[in-house]
Amino acid sequence: MYYPPPPPSPTPTPPSPSPPPAAPALAIGHYYKTCYKAEQIVRDSVRKAVYANRGIGAGLIRLFFHDCFVRGCDASVLLDPTPANAQPEKLGIPNFPSLRGFEVIDAAKAALEEACPGVVSCADIVAFAGRDATFFLSNGRAYFDMPAGRYDGNVSLASETLPNLPPPFATLQTLKDMFASKGLTADEMVTLSGAHSVGVSHCSSFSDRLPPNPSDPSAMDATLAASVQVKCNRTGDPVVVQDFRTPGDLDNQYYKNVLDKKVLFKSDAALRSSETGAQVLLNAWIPGQWEQKFKAAMVRMGSIEVKTRA
Within 10 angstroms of residue 167's Cβ, the number of other Cβ atoms is 16
| Residue range(s) occupied by CATH 1.10.520.10 in the chain | 38-164
Question: Could you write out the DSSP letters of every residue in 37-51?
Answer: THHHHHHHHHHHHHH
**How deeply is 7 buried, as exposed, middle or buried, from its count of CB atoms within 10 A (0-12, 13-18, 19+)?**
middle
Q: What residues pair up with 148 in beta bridges, in sequence order?
A: 27
**Contact (Cβ atoms closer than 8 angstroms) between residue 298 and residue 126:** no
Q: Does domain 172-292 have CATH number 1.10.420.10?
A: yes
Q: Which of these is catalytic: 30, 66, 131, 209?
A: 66
> Active site includes 66?
yes
Q: Does domain 38-164 have CATH number 1.10.520.10?
A: yes
| pLDDT, tens digit only, all 310 positions of the chain | 444 555 555 544 444 434 444 445 899 999 999 999 999 999 999 999 999 999 999 999 999 999 999 999 999 999 999 999 999 999 999 999 999 999 999 999 999 999 999 999 999 999 999 999 999 999 999 999 999 999 999 999 999 999 999 999 999 999 999 999 999 999 999 999 999 999 999 999 999 999 999 999 999 999 999 999 999 999 889 999 999 999 999 999 999 999 999 999 999 999 999 999 999 999 999 989 999 999 999 999 999 999 977 5
| Residue range(s) occupied by CATH 1.10.420.10 in the chain | 172-292
- Kindly report the pTM of this predicted structure: 0.91
CB within 8 Å of 193: residues ≥ 6 apart: 254, 267, 268, 271
Task: Tell me the binding residues for Ca(2+).
Answer: 67, 70, 72, 74, 76, 89, 243, 246, 251
**Contact (Cβ atoms closer than 8 angstroms) between residue 237 and residue 202:** yes
Task: Tell me the binding residues.
Answer: 67, 70, 72, 74, 76, 89, 166, 196, 243, 246, 251
